[in-house]
Amino acid sequence: MNKPEVTIYKIGGGIIDDAAELIKFLVLFAQTAGFKILVHGGGKGASAMMRELGLTPQLINGRRVTDATVLDIVTMFYAGKTNKQVVAELQRLGVNALGLSGADGNIIQGVKRPVKDIDYGFVGDITTASINKKLVQQLLASGLTPVLCPIIHDGNGQLLNTNADTIASAVAVALTELYTVTLHYCFEKNGVLRDINDDESVIPEINSAAYAELKAQGIIADGMLPKLENAFAALSQGVQAVIIGHALNIQTTLRTKLCLN
Amino acid sequence: MNKPEVTIYKIGGGIIDDAAELIKFLVLFAQTAGFKILVHGGGKGASAMMRELGLTPQLINGRRVTDATVLDIVTMFYAGKTNKQVVAELQRLGVNALGLSGADGNIIQGVKRPVKDIDYGFVGDITTASINKKLVQQLLASGLTPVLCPIIHDGNGQLLNTNADTIASAVAVALTELYTVTLHYCFEKNGVLRDINDDESVIPEINSAAYAELKAQGIIADGMLPKLENAFAALSQGVQAVIIGHALNIQTTLRTKLCLN
């Protein structure tokens, strides 16, 4: 029996910080057919509010160090303001969106990151097993569109700040048991570029063999490497396709499609 | 056929502002049997943050005047911080809580209050018809416990600030079609008092006839009058009982029970 299809769209800070772009994206998202899930990241609002309150945002390797005060602020921003504005806008557009943190319905339960060299504070680590896929399935079957923010919980009453890319890929892999899954990373570029300086040089499709070759040639390097490593890890765990492209091109073929074969 | 029973608990700012009391209440709430819904209000956190950001909270007749900035802040506090902390704590206590604003799943859709003498800004008015009772029923039937915050939406992408008491009573009345409903208002007193200066003088039960008499005698007056008017309005629309008492007494008989007859 064929599994039903679901697409998981992940949007990041770049589009969340631009209200006009965000609405344009949500209009396109609303028009896409079939089961879908939206995962959103943070944006700069939380850092701006910290500065207004006299706090200094601290990032190590791009990850936010989250003490109790910072956790309150990111919870307010991600689970409160951003999540509810996106949900209200999707409702306007006829999408029956339902916003969730990981605590809601225990949909994502993780663990506080163990302290090794760096204490990231209230930051959560998750695996595929962290995802309550039965609840996701039940919400989708009811005609609801889950909108996930990057705040999860540990099951012991503690909220935790988590990376939205990680949530998107964990949800994607977890759902492969029940659905044929496409994972769609939306960002500010048109896709994986053959020439980093030419935004039109998008490589339309990359399979495992082509990926190995592009790496060997040094065409895929730097910031794109971890993104694609994560994408191929998701593919090797059963995700059918990972798409990387601009948030406003989700309905076009201007994007890079990653597949195993 | 007997309808299933549901109890709607409303907690206000007094208990939300006291972390230790809030946890004590949630432990008691977790122990109650049967279908239940929690509606929470705001608390002083939002006003404190406004002051820290150099804004002056403005209240008219106890209602917050909500401009766009204030709406952002109350959305962050009520739908973000408070709602998610309560949900995470209930998950710890074994309650499969799911936090919702009115926008989520379109569970409460209202209208922006029309400007007459006073412009309250982004404040929402609701009626019984605003409540998506089918979604409430579906969540309860799935074993989920809805936790509602006082932020709703208008269906046109606008979030609105609303009174938690009003939400609790609208949800209660809306659910009478599907459930036998008890509405439980938790506050800082032990119930309706015969003597305002004696916290032990709780009147255990008041029906419509007794209510008329207590009003005539001047025993129920001032701040208690609108509360009881609202309670009897809910009863006259099919709610079976309204209970008024202290948040930490929800499992005891020290409270006032209001019924029609």
Q: For B151, which residue in chain A has the nearest alpha carbon? A: A84
Q: How is residue B27 written in tokens?
A: 């432990």
- pLDDT at residue B20 greater than cutoff 90: yes
What is the predicted pLDDT for the residue at B130? 97
Nearest to B142 among A87, A97, A138 (CB): A138
Tokens 């190995």 locate to: A212
CA distance A112 to A107: 16
Do residues A248 and A188 lie in contact, with contact meaning Cβ atoms separated by under 8 Å? no
Q: Do B84 and A79 touch (CB under 8 A)?
A: yes
What is the rounded CA–CA span in Å between residue A189 and residue A52? 31
Q: Which residues of chain B are within 8 Å of residue A94 when distances are taken between CB atoms?
A: none
What does DSSP say about strands B5-11 and B35-40: parallel, antiparallel, or unpaired? parallel
Q: Is the pLDDT of residue B247 over 90?
A: yes
By CA distance, what is A160's nearest residue in B? B88
Q: Say if residues A25 and A13 touch (Cβ distance below 8 Å).
A: no
Give residue B58's pLDDT.
Answer: 84
Report the share of chain A in percent with pLDDT over 70. Answer: 100
pLDDT in tens, B35-86: 999 999 987 888 888 888 888 888 887 777 899 999 999 999 999 999 999 9
**Beta-carbon contacts below 8 Å between A and B:** 111
Query: Lowest-pLDDT range, A8-17, A153-162, B104-113?
Result: A8-17
Strands (E), chain B: 5-11, 35-40, 59-60, 63-64, 97-100, 111-112, 124-125, 145-148, 151-153, 159-161, 180-187, 205-206, 241-246, 256-258
Helix runs in chain A, H state only: 13-16, 19-31, 45-52, 68-74, 83-92, 133-141, 164-175, 208-216, 224-236
- Rounded to whole angstroms, what are the CA distances from A12 to A41, A149, A209, B155? 5, 11, 29, 25
Do A88 and A98 touch, CB atoms closer than 8 A? Answer: no
The mean pLDDT value for B185-190 works out to: 91
Which of B97, B105, B151 has the CB atom closest to A96's CB atom?
Answer: B105
- For residue B45, the tally of other CB atoms under 10 A from its CB is 20
Tell me which of B52, B72, B76, B132 to substitute to probe the interface with A (most A C-beta atoms closer than 10 Å): B76
Q: Two tokens at B51?
A: 């002051």
Q: Which amino acid is at B75?
A: T
Across the range B247-255, mean pLDDT stands at: 94
Read off the pTM: 0.96
What SS3 class is residue B91? helix
Going by C-alpha positions, the residue among A151, A133, A138 that lies closest to residue B88 is: A151
Range of weakest confidence among A31-40, A144-153, B60-69, B243-252: B60-69
Contacting residues of A for B103, CB less than 8 Å apart: 84, 87-88, 91, 97, 99
Query: Which ipTM was obtained for this model?
Result: 0.95
Classify residue B51 by burial, with Cβ atoms within 10 Å: 0-12, 13-18, 19+. exposed
pLDDT reported for residue B45: 87
**pLDDT the model gives residue B224:** 83
Question: Alpha-carbon Rg of chain B, whole angstroms?
Answer: 18
Averaged pLDDT score across all residues of chain B = 94
**Rounded to an integer, what distance in angstroms lies between the CA atom of residue A100 and that of residue B202?**
41
User: Per-residue confidence at A21, pLDDT binned at 50, 70, 90?
Assistant: very high
Candidates A96, A98, A145, partner chain B, best to mutate (most B CBs within 10 A): A98
A180 has pLDDT over 70:
yes
Give residue ranges of A with CB < 8 Å to any B CB.
52-53, 72, 75-81, 83-85, 87-89, 91-92, 96-101, 103-106, 138, 142, 144, 151, 153, 155-159
| Rounded mean pLDDT, A17-32 | 96
Three-state SS string across B203-222, please? CCEECHHHHHHHHHCCCCCC
Give the pLDDT confidence score for residue A19 in this predicted structure. Answer: 93
**Which burial class, exposed, middle or buried, applies to B207 when counting CB atoms under 10 A from its CB (0-12, 13-18, 19+)?**
middle
Between CA B242 and CA B228 the distance in angstroms is: 9
In one letter, which amino acid is A133?
K
pLDDT of residue B67: 93
With the C-alpha atoms ordered A135, A138, A140, A145, is the resulting torsion angle positive or negative? negative
Nearest beta carbon to residue A105 from set B98, B106, B157: B98
Does residue B184 contact residue B9 with C-beta atoms inside 8 Å?
yes
Residues of chain A with pLDDT > 90, as a percent, come to 80
Q: What is the radius of gyration, based on Cα positions, of chain A?
A: 18
pLDDT tens, position by position, A200-225? 999 999 999 999 999 999 998 887 88
Domains annotated for chain B, with CATH where assigned, are 5-187 (3.40.1160.10)
Nearest CA in chain B to A156: B92
Condensed to tens digits (0 to 9), the pLDDT of residues B142-179 reads 999 999 999 999 999 999 999 999 999 999 999 999 99
Tokens at B170, concatenated: 């609208």
Q: What is the pLDDT of residue B1?
A: 66
Within 10 A of A200 (CB to CB), how many other CB atoms are there?
9
Which of helix, strand or coil describes residue B25? helix
CB A8 within 8 A of CB A146: no
Distance CA A104, CA B144 (A): 9
Residue A1: is its pLDDT beyond 70? no
Helix (H, G, I), strand (E, B) or coil at A185: strand
**Token pair 């006259």 is at which residue?**
B236
Tell me what the pLDDT averaged over chain A comes to: 94
Which of A38, A76, A122, A130 to substitute to test the interface with B, most B CBs within 10 Å? A76
